[in-house]
Structures are given as C-alpha cells and as structure tokens.
Amino acid sequence: MEISKLPLDEITAEFETHRIGARIDNYTYNEADLRMFRAIINNAVKQQGRIDKMTNQSLNDSWPLKRIDPTLRALFRAATSELLIQETPPKAVVNEFIEIAKAFFPTGREAKLVNGVLDNILTMIIKD
C-alpha cells in the first residue's frame, strides 16, 4: 500500500486473487486463512500509528522506521498486527515473520533485525 498508493480493498483483492495459492514463475504460493489475512491487514491499517510507534521504540535511534526498507516496514506492521490480535501463539508469529524476512532478504541480516524488533514489541504488548 505504501509503495503503490492503492487503497486497502484493492491490495487485499490483489493478494487474494493473484498471490495466495497462486502459481507464479514455477512457484506455488501457499494457501492462507483468508479471515486471518484480512484481520491482520485491517488491524495493521487501523493501528498503524501505534504499531509504528512501538517499532520506532524497538529500533536504534539512528535508524528510525522511516529509514527502514519498505518491505521491512510492511513486515513489522503485519507481524505486530498479528501479535496484537492475539489469536496465534506469539513465538509462532515471531518465528513465521523471521522466515518471511529470510525469504525476502536471503543474504542479509534483516532476519536478525526482525527477531530483535519483534521480541521488543512482544515485550511491550505483554506489559500493556
């Protein structure tokens, strides 16, 4: 949404129609729980200010959220949204999003960053 500037309903439809369970370039994407997918996205948009604030608090002062790669920003927002929904065990959420980071950034240190940031955010959520 941040890059394309498309509205939420168009982004959701794009993923549901052309990504979830689709076959692209000899790769078949996994199926997904569409109810949970929509809940995560809707919650991320609804609570983006809160989510971004928690993410900024978890990042190094010299690397605020606005300096982070847009894919990582989206990942932090989706992961934190799912943590806030509290339907999935938190450690499972963190582990899944670490794996997503590895898929997008297979040679970088982004997975470690995701692990650290999400662990900090999880601590904040537990304190609330």
pLDDT of residue 71: 94
Helix (H, G, I), strand (E, B) or coil at 28: strand
Rounded to two decimals, the pTM is 0.90
For 96-121, what is each residue's pLDDT tens digit?
999 999 999 999 899 999 999 999 99
pLDDT of residue 84: 97
**CATH label, 33-127, candidates 3.30.365.10, 3.90.800.10, 1.20.1630.10, 1.10.940.10:** 1.10.940.10
DSSP string, 49-73: HHHHHHHHHHS-TTS-GGGS-HHHH
pLDDT at 62 over 80: no
pLDDT of residue 88: 94
